[in-house]
Structure 1
Amino acid sequence: MEQENPEEIMKFLREFISFENEGEMSFPEIRNVVDSIIPIFYKICPSIRYKLKEAEEMQNFKQTIHYVCDGCGIHNVAEISWEEDKDERYISVYETFLPLLWSLCYFVLYTYDNCYAIKTQSDDFDGKLNFDEPGAKLALKLWNFGRNLKEIVKKWPEDCAKPEDESAIVLQANALFCYGMCFILYHEVGHLLLWHLNSAPSIQQEKDADDFAIEKSLAYQFDIPQELETAKNGMVLALISLCLLDSLAGRDDVIHPNTEDRLLNALNKMQLADESITWMIAAYGILIWFNEFKFEEIFEKEYDTPKSYFDAVIKRFKQELDG
């Protein structure tokens, strides 16, 4: 196979999935890390640029992403938009969702290691967590800022971590965020390339777009095992963030599958070992979701494997939701 010209690749990256601001930014703190999504998006599936070129010719797809800054609380994540007067389609990403996802990535990273994992190993663990440690307090403050963007837009907390910081945990959060956003973008690209836009939306279309995104996100042969783990965990946290937005659409959404079912589908397709840390990250994310729905905060201590722990958590959560 002929090798691709690096100059042509960079030209493509500049012309496609370049984010065009639409409106005045509310969160400049996250704008730079958004641009880091582009090379990861391409690296995961280099051939996608040829598919998108076909879509440009056959479906009037404009090869840019509109970065929608409307100053409103979270009302959308991403979508394929249609500009009627030009008969053009393009991807729209909504700015206010991004701090929610990033703050979730940071909160999970910090509190999983410093509050959850350590606490559950203690013999006197009572099933509840606290965030008295200063760093945990700031992580919780950041997470409260992110999740409250569903209702009100406020400035990024000055004393909390930001994507431009250079600490190791921020770099990890940035990586999780980028892989999570790649999954979301591939979901939207899936709608485009599977020709969903010419018919009425349906649950089956959403499942097919999820499967497309999962397949593309996992197909890449990562040289470093930890990077594959980061990609999987980023996908899980992206789906957890959508779970947290479930309360906006309600449980009677007739277009999208229940988000916990989307999470289970992704985890099953990852073919994880029972001992994979990704099961624990998913379980921890579900337990954060428990708190969002004001359920009793109980964190089980005893489990045989991370997968058995996750199975117990998701079973209990579905019972709470459906009961």
Structure 2
Amino acid sequence: MFQQTNPQFFEELSADIKGRKVNQIVDLIYGEVPLRKEDGSFWTPRIIGSSKQIEVHETFLSFVWCAIYSTFVKYLETVDFPQTNNRQGKAAYTANQDHLETATQMFDYARSLIVDFQKWNIDVSPNPEKYLAENRDFIEQTTLYYNSAVKFILCHEYAHLKFEHLKNIDKNTDKSRFCEMEYEADNFAIDSIMKGYFEPAHFAAEAQRLANEIGVIFGIVVMFYFKASTEGAKHPNAEDRLTNALERLKLEDNHPGWGIACTGFKFWDSQFGKNLVWDIENKSFKELYYQLLDQIKKEN
């Protein structure tokens, strides 16, 4: 999946492997451990300078899938379906409380993985490995967005190796330079994915584009759930990364990506008690996003 990000990507990646900028092996670390390490850092994706490898932890991947599932279902049931009812002028869809309760449970499980690893009960909880056919829509759509989110994350880390960012930093490097490199990595990842869109005439063009766009958004949104503050010591604020991605994707004002970003803010709000004011009436998803963003900025 990663190698086929766009038609030229494999050739580009192969050249960087041959040029010894990138190790051809992604280091997938297995282990039933929480994401928070003893030193307070997290098992989030990173690059290893000595081996030039991308490192990804098994628990992080579980966290991402569960966080996407909960956010996506919450978006559908509380944002997308009501808007559809408004457009159609009738109550074609009603919120399914069982779906919402399951989404909340999955979110609680996802965030618990940060501090206390508990085994994923695939006999009871939604998961991409074992599920009933009647539950396939939410699960398989989640997996579709998860795949695109992981692709975005891998492309981001690959960019750090490709542009040899580690060679350009030392103990005296200031935050602005770190931020520049993070945006460069994000923009490379987004542009690489956009280059892989099918031609408009392709029968799956719209669905594939939507999956990739939403995947990029989720690749950033899930990082909000790690802590109450959006500020990073050596990274741009999380909301600034998200805004950059949304604008770079050139999404329409009511694109689901804006709505999912808003739902991500809502989950983060419920997790850390930010008391954001959610006023969706007579607003596009984009307008709602910037309204919520303004509240976050004022708090920071």
Please tell me the TM-score bracket, short chain as reference.
Answer: 0.7 to 0.9
Residue 43 of structure 1, CA deviation: 2.9
Aligned: 1:44 with 2:13: no
The number of equivalent residue pairs is 268
Give the 5 Å matches for 1:153-172: 153-157=117-121, 158-164=123-129, 165=131, 166=133, 167-172=136-141
Instruction: Return the alpha-carbon distance in structure 2 between the equivalents of residues 284 and 274 of structure 1.
Output: 15
In structure 1, the partner of 2:212 is 231
Which of the residues 151, 155, 159 maps onto 1:186? 155
In structure 1, the partner of 2:68 is 105
Residue 216 of structure 1, CA deviation: 0.7
Residue 181 of structure 1, CA deviation: 0.5
Quote the sequence identity (%).
Answer: 23
In structure 2, the partner of 1:241 is 222
What is the TM-score with the length of structure 1 in the denominator?
A: 0.76
Aligned: 1:152 with 2:116: yes
In structure 2, the partner of 1:289 is 268
**For residue 280 of structure 1, what is the amino acid of its counterpart?**
G
Give CA deviations for 1:76-109 in whole Å, capped at 9, x if unaligned: 32111245xxxx3211111111122111221122
Unaligned runs of 5+ in 2: 36-41, 87-94, 171-177
Which of the residues 163, 175, 183 maps onto 1:207? 183
Residue 317 of structure 1, CA deviation: 2.2
What is the TM-score with the length of structure 2 in the denominator?
A: 0.81
Aligned: 1:309 with 2:269: no
In structure 1, the partner of 2:47 is 80
Point out the more displaced range, 284-293 or 43-52.
43-52
Please report the RMSD computed on the Cα atoms of aligned residues, expressed in angstroms.
2.3
In structure 1, the partner of 2:248 is 269
Give CA deviations for 1:147-172 in whole Å, capped at 9, x if unaligned: 11110100113411111235121110
Give CA deviations for 1:257-289 in whole Å, capped at 9, x if unaligned: 111100000011011111222211111111111
* SS at 2:254 equivalent: coil
Contact 2:3/2:13, CA 8 A, preserved across alignment: no
Contact 1:246/1:259, CA 8 A, preserved across alignment: no
Instruction: Return the alpha-carbon distance in structure 1 between the equivalents of residues 125 and 58 of structure 2.
Output: 19
Residue 118 of structure 1, CA deviation: 4.6
Aligned: 1:53 with 2:24: no
**For residue 58 of structure 2, what is the amino acid of its counterpart?**
E
Unaligned runs of 5+ in 1: 1-38, 123-130
**For residue 90 of structure 1, what is the amino acid of its counterpart?**
Q
**For residue 102 of structure 1, what is the amino acid of its counterpart?**
W
Instruction: Return the alpha-carbon distance in structure 2 between the equivalents of residues 217 and 209 of structure 1.
Output: 12
* SS at 2:282 equivalent: coil
Residue 60 of structure 1, CA deviation: 5.6
